Structure 1
Amino acid sequence: MLKIIAATDFSPASKHALEFIINATSNLQREIVILNVVHLDGPPPASMISSIIESLKTKAYFDYQSLSEEIMEKYGEHLPMRFHAEVGGPAHKVIEKVARDENADLIVLGMKGMSDMQKVFLGSVAASTAMHSKFPIMIVPSGCQIYPIEHIVDATDLYQDESEFNKVMKYARLFNAKVSMLHIYNHDEETEKARMKVLNEGIEKKYGNLNVQYVSYKNEHVTDGIERYTAEHPTDLLVIFTHKRLFYERLFNPSIAKELAFESKVTLLVLKSE
């Protein structure tokens, strides 16, 4: 059973993320917990806190009822989905707490779009959750198409250990998807071809029947290379490991935010290493 926390503020972006994961896991046994974080924008009078919180929770429940009816009508009445409203803040800490209490396997969040990656990794709820959570985080841009996950691209610096490789392959098996281990390089092309040949022969020898291969793309900039590769090779899921600090900072540093115009609108799966 795959337990999924789908965080929502009942916006179109979070609804799109919910529909994405419903579709992606349609062949799996799953339970989806729709989580809304209830928080106050400012400190109200102490005597009113309780009534205001109850009012916000009631509104969230009615919003969920409306969302649920729409989703059930589209995907079927027997969809294993339930609602949970949690009071507190900041939102990413509340999401983490609920995921821990629920023993979740995956947290799913939506966002308005990936044309400005600063919105993803510079202060948004999705950013904070991805950076701090111990759980796998799926970030679904509102512009991505809702298709089955058939092609996973793992942005690698070629120093992934076996535990990280196994984590990627876990999702490949889960979604019955092929995997491209993508390396962006800027050195001699013949050297890179020789390296890819050795790596792919090693995978073939060790894993044989897995639908996985190393691929490379020449570009001076990691982020631009990933963007171009995913634009040229339709990608359903882009995997990154946040612990690769130098690689990660190159990928999501605010100084190169303009280079991160992921107009390919790829869904991200953010994983932590042990």
Structure 2
Amino acid sequence: MKKILLLTDFSEAAHKALQYARSFFSDTVADFHLLCAYPVEPDGFYSPKHVAETVHAAFVSQLRDVVKELHQQTNVDWHTFRSSAKPGKLIDIVREALDEEAYDLVVIGGKKDGTNELFGNSATQLIRQLNINVLVVPVDTDSKPIRSVVLAVDFANLKSCKLLCPVKEIVSLKGATLTLLTIDTPQKKSIRVEQEVRIRQFLAPIEPTVAHLQSPDARKGIDDYLAGHPVDLLITIPKHKGLADILTGNSVTRSLAYMPPVPMLTLYDDGSSDKPRLIEDLSNLDYAL
């Protein structure tokens, strides 16, 4: 069973994310936990305790109505829904939830709720600070079958193929096509043949298509590809999370997550490395990522 932590503030973006998540896991046993993090502002007339209790009751009531409606709408018996509301900052509340329970994925609606790309928004903050996979759903996304999946990462620096387990699972379950998108930028490290083979062996029996583009920077290359090809899901592995990377604009995933052009899944990299596999025959490998 998949355990999905779905963040909501009752906005249109949150509603779209909920509908998309239900469609995404329509063929999977899943437990959806709707979590609402809300601020409590002081009131000059009522006591802080009264304000806190009143606000909490209001959010809990809204969540119960949403869950009740979901139970009435669903026509499958392998989806369960529950909810909770807690006061505080979103990142703190989500961390508490992840400490209390193991989840497979955090889902958030993508909307421009930050000052600008440099300062980021809720989605960029979660991706940068959480040790879990995050799915960002654009507010204009329509729920539809996943037919085309694009994996855009720096394959030369991929230390652990185990990070690609969710990719294999999604592509296999959805019967989708998989494209390995690699962007050649100035001074980019070239991928070695052993790494190419290792990635393909891990993804087998899936046979991905390779898209090889040249561009002055990775973000422009990805945008150019998305502009010319139908893509249902973009998958990335964030690498540049430090403050210096943010200030210098090196974090490609951050810029994409701020206003994602398509639904985007970011895979958490814990920095581990798997052992290279022995290859006996390289004679038929004349392709490159």
Report how far residue 27 of structure 1 moved.
0.5
Matched, 1:221 2:217: yes
CA distance in 1: counterparts of 2:123 and 2:110, whole angstroms? 7
1:271, distance to aligned residue in structure 2 (A): 1.8
Counterpart-to-counterpart distance in 2, 1:263 and 1:232: 18
In structure 1, distance between residues paired with 2:56 and 2:122: 20
1:108 to 2:107 alignment? yes
Q: Distance in 1 between matches of 2:108 and 2:56?
A: 20
Please say if residues 117 and 261 of structure 1, whose CA atoms lie closer than 8 Å, have aligned partners that are also in contact: no
SS in 2 for 1:80: strand
Check if 1:56 corresponds to 2:55: yes
Correspondence 1:135 to 2:143: no
Q: Which has the higher helix share?
A: 1
Distance in 1 separating the partners of 2:117 and 2:142: 18
2:149, 2:231 within 8 Å by CA — same for their partners in 1?
Answer: yes
Kept in 2, the 8 Å contact 1:24–1:175? The answer is no
Per the alignment, residue 210 of structure 1 pairs with: 206
Q: Label 1:215 to 1:262 Cα distance change in 2 as closer, same or farther (>3 A).
A: farther
Residue pairs, 1:90-129, within 5 angstroms: 90-112=89-111, 122-129=119-126
Counterpart pick for 1:240 among 236, 240, 246: 236
Q: How far does the alpha carbon of each residue in 1:114-161 deviate from its partner, in whole angstroms, 9 at most, with x for none?
A: xx9975773322221111001111111101221122322221122212
Looking at structure 1, the residues matched to 257 and 9 of structure 2 have their Cα atoms a distance apart, in angstroms, of 25
> In 1, are the aligned partners of 2:152 and 2:236 still within 8 Å (CA)?
yes
Paired residue secondary structure (1:225): helix
How many equivalent residue pairs? 261
**Structure 1 residue 228 displacement after superposition:** 1.8
* Alignment partner of 1:144 is 2:141: yes
Read off the aligned partner of 2:148 and give its amino acid letter. H
C-alpha change, 1:64 and 1:253, in structure 2 (3 Å) is closer
Higher deviation after alignment, 130-139 or 176-185:
176-185
Which sits farther off after the overlay, 126-135 or 206-215? 206-215
Give 2:33's aligned residue.
Answer: 33
- Which segments of 5 or more consecutive residues in structure 1 lack a partner in the other structure? none
> Which residue matches 2:265?
269
Aligned partner of 2:23 in structure 1 is: 23
Asked if the contact 2:42–2:51 (Cα under 8 Å) also holds between the matched residues in 1, the reply is no
TM-score of the superposition, structure 2-length normalised? 0.75
Return 65-74 or 15-24, whichever deviates more: 65-74
Q: Amino acid of the residue matched to residue 263 of structure 2?
A: T
Conservation of the 8 A alpha-carbon contact between 2:237 and 2:267: yes
Q: Which moved more, 1:196-205 or 1:121-130?
A: 196-205
CA-atom RMSD in angstroms:
3.5
Match of 2:277 in 1: none
Give the secondary structure class of the aligned counterpart of 1:250. Answer: coil
Per-residue deviation at 1:178? Answer: 3.0
- For the residue of structure 2 that corresponds to 1:9, the secondary structure is coil
1:86 is paired with a residue whose SS is strand
Segments of 5+ residues of structure 2 without an aligned counterpart are 271-289
Change (3 A) 1:26 1:202: same
The residue that corresponds to 1:86 in the other structure is: 86
Give the conservation status (yes or no) of the 8 Å contact 2:185–2:218: no
Say if 1:6 and 1:203 are closer, same or farther in 2 by CA, change over 3 A. Answer: closer
Between 1:233-242 and 1:170-179, the stretch displaced more is: 170-179
TM value normalised by structure 1: 0.79
Cα distance in 1, alignment partners of residues 95 and 106 from structure 2: 9
